[in-house]
Structure 1
Amino acid sequence: MTDSNEFWHKLDRLVATSNLKIERPRGTSHPRYPSFIYPLDYGYLQDTQAGDMANIDVWIGSLSAKKVTAIICSVDLEKRDTEIKILLDCTSGESQGILNIHNTGSQSAILLIRAESIAI
């Protein structure tokens, strides 16, 4: 297995062995920015830790493979932090939409797509 494949498989294991909590369901508004409506379910992996010392964030798309399809690496100059967000079961269109969300205001992000993912 190549290093890249090992990375994605370990992310799959992390997701599979974690309790996924949906914090903000699709169609709900952001608590501080009510004009922002979540286009997908958004939550976190319970009992994990990201760079911001909170749980690891996850966007959940419409595919049903229960597989990590991509990650977003972001930097926020206002918060002065960086984060990785897991995209689970996202199509390429959903992934691009989430990337656009994280490329606004003081944020900038890149999308790393899993080469073996089948994103429509």
Structure 2
Amino acid sequence: MNTLENNAFFWQKLDTLYLSSKLIVDRPKGTCHYKYSNLVYPVDYGYLNDTTGSDQAPIDVFRGSVKSNLIQAVVVSADILKKDCEVKLLVGCSEEEERKILEFLNQTEFQKAILVRRGKEVPEWAVND
């Protein structure tokens, strides 16, 4: 059994959220983190206006240099200082940008993140969804 059951319908829902919301980039590429000046954003970072993520704030987005309007991956982070887990969307990121985002999110001992790439599979149980 796979450790991850990918579902194409999940990615379609994320695409709909992204395409039906306005992306606000409030931390352009190269900007320092507002609290930790040693953390520099490797790509544009922002949020989807009028959405709500698990932290009750808008859904976060990393926007890379590739022209695309599809969600290609998500990163899931666990932060022991904030005592939370968050999901952030990746749009238009090259493989190198994905690597830099993971480095950015994993550089402290307090937060670690994983990347989940978009899949095309539809599990048998989801066919009647």
- C-alpha contact (below 8 Å) 2:11/2:118 kept by paired residues: yes
Q: Give 5+ residue unaligned stretches, structure 2.
A: 1-5, 121-129
Segments of 5+ residues of structure 1 without an aligned counterpart are: none
4+ residue segments displaced more than 6 Å? none
Q: Find out whether 1:109 has 2:106 as its counterpart.
A: no
Query: Matched residues in 2 for 1:107 and 1:29: separation?
Result: 17
Aligned residue-pair number: 114
TM-score, with normalisation over the residues of structure 2? 0.82
Q: TM-score, normalised by structure 1?
A: 0.88
Q: After superposition, what is the alpha-carbon deviation per residue over 1:32-80, rounded to whole angstroms, capped at 9, x for unaligned?
A: 2223221110000011111111111000011102111100011101110
Larger Rg computed on CA atoms: 2
1:75 aligns with 2:78: yes
**Which letter maps to 2:103?**
N
2:9 corresponds to which residue?
6
The 5 Å alignment of 1:1-120 reads: 4-103=7-106, 104-115=108-119
Please tell me the root mean square deviation across aligned C-alpha atoms, in Å: 1.3
Partner of 2:127: none
Task: Report if the CA contact (8 A) 2:64-2:93 is conserved.
Answer: yes
CA contact (8 A) 2:71 2:89 kept: yes
